[in-house]
Amino acid sequence: MFSWINDRRSHQRTAEHLYGAVVAQARQPSFFTHLGVPDTLEGRYEMIVLNLFLVLDRLRGEDEPAQSISRRLTERFVTDMDDCMRELGVGDLKVPKKVKRAAAGLYDRIQDYHNAMAGNDEEALAKAIQSNVFTPEIAEPITSDATALADYIRRSHAAMAHQSLRDASTGTPRFSDIVLLQTNRANP
């Protein structure tokens, strides 16, 4: 009779574990040192969103348990944004507005990245990354850093597509290694 309570708790634990894996991946130093992602609050936000997109896209279109985990994962992101704002000293009256903007950014980026991936348009994905991660004002010209990050997304997306849903949804998403392209900046 109360099995839904256990399911909800199980999905919440899974989402917590998945979010931890997403954040750990987003904190990989190579994104910042080798791929040119700005090591700022905005840059770190973008890397969390980008890696969260990969997991959420893998769960998209699956059965109800996967959808429940996806919802809990998104809720965990919003909670994390709220916590971060408060830790940064943002005033209580401004926190909801900033969290709402962060959540809206997540949904916008997920849509951008999903559309670019669905169209198999390598340039569209690099443009979306360029405008979201590197230069919000201008999406041209596409930098080698944006191209390398697009390559990372495609390889991670493919790796997760070949991963069983059980593995992908239990907190062990298969992210790709971060490959440095010849045209990228030299090692610092």
Q: Are 117 and 152 in contact (CB under 8 A)?
A: no
φ/ψ region of 89 (left if φ > 0, alpha if ψ in -120 to 50, else beta) reads left
Q: Are 172 and 69 in contact (CB under 8 A)?
A: no
Average confidence (pLDDT) over 111-139:
84
> 26: closest CA among 12, 42, 10?
42
Give the pLDDT band of residue 168 (cuts 50, 70, 90).
low
Higher pLDDT, 159 or 91: 159
pLDDT at res. 118? 87
Average pLDDT, the chain: 83
Average confidence (pLDDT) over 4-27:
79
pLDDT at 6 exceeding the cut of 70: no
What's the predicted TM-score (pTM) here?
A: 0.85
